[in-house]
Copies of this chain bind each other. A is one copy, B any other.
Amino acid sequence: MSSSAPWKQLLLNSINSNSHLKHSTYFQLATVGSNGRPSNRTVVFRGFQDGTDKIQINTDSRSCKIEDLKHCPFAEVCWYFTETWEQFRIHGRVDLIDASNSDPDKLEQREAAWFAGSVRSRLQYLGPTPGLPSLDEQPSHDSLDSSAGPVDVFCLLLLDPEQVDYLNLKSNERLAFTTARSVNGENFWTQNKVNP
């Protein structure tokens, strides 16, 4: 039984070694649209879900990635660390936790994610629909009750990794991590050195 995925410590080391850089928590998330074409955008790493290997991302339920994920629930993170020249490609299924979720545990996680963000970061969810034409005069939302719970459009994404590809451009080493299900139904990880 492996309680932790073998790539997780590698990733935590990279996060730590690059933590002096603001952009070190930014990665690119690729999804597939209902037209079958890829989309790609920068999002912010919001930590792992407690006690799991699942990656947390906050988003606006009005953004296009939600429509993409409802069509195809798989996504691939590409996370390049500019200080240590390391890349993690993390492929997995994404669970959408929005206001309409019926699971009380998941709604609690969503609320925790909301309060984990700064009040300033919460303000963006009060703005007009992302990607729609911008009107010249937008009402400004520069105040928000810091004790108020998540607004309706706030959505927590949980990416559950199935495959991780690690590349170190300094050592030119590449590792492929793959998950599989054992006979007793538990997931376990295998690790292989592959050509860069």
Chain B residues lying within 8 Å of A72, measured Cβ to Cβ, are 36-38
- Secondary structure of the A contact surface, majority rule: strand
Chain B residues lying within 8 Å of A127, measured Cβ to Cβ, are 195-196
Chain B residues lying within 8 Å of A130, measured Cβ to Cβ, are 194-196
Chain B residues lying within 8 Å of A75, measured Cβ to Cβ, are 38
**In the bound complex, do residue A129 and residue B195 qualify as a contact, i.e. CB atoms below 8 Å apart?**
yes
Complex partner residue of A38 from B42, B76, B134, B174, CB under 8 angstroms? B76
Task: Give the size category of A's interface with B.
Answer: 35 or more
Complex partner residue of A28 from B28, B82, B128, B132, CB under 8 angstroms? B28
In the complex, how many angstroms separate the beta carbon of A19 from the nearest chain B beta carbon?
14
In the complex, how many angstroms separate the beta carbon of A30 from the nearest chain B beta carbon?
4
Residues 179-196 of A, flagged 1 when their CB comes within 8 A of B and 0 if not, give: 000000000000011111
Q: Is A7 an interface residue (CB 8 A)?
A: no
In the complex, how many angstroms separate the beta carbon of A63 from the nearest chain B beta carbon?
10
Copies in the complex: 2
Given contacts A128-B195, A195-B130, contact A78 B37 (CB under 8 A): no
**In the bound complex, do residue A80 and residue B133 qualify as a contact, i.e. CB atoms below 8 Å apart?**
no
**In the bound complex, do residue B30 and residue A91 qualify as a contact, i.e. CB atoms below 8 Å apart?**
no
Q: Is A11 an interface residue (CB 8 A)?
A: no
Could you write out 19 A-B pairs with CB less than 8 Å apart?
A21-B82, A23-B82, A30-B30, A30-B76, A36-B72, A38-B76, A39-B91, A40-B76, A40-B78, A42-B87, A82-B82, A127-B195, A128-B195, A131-B195, A132-B194, A133-B192, A133-B194, A134-B193, A134-B195
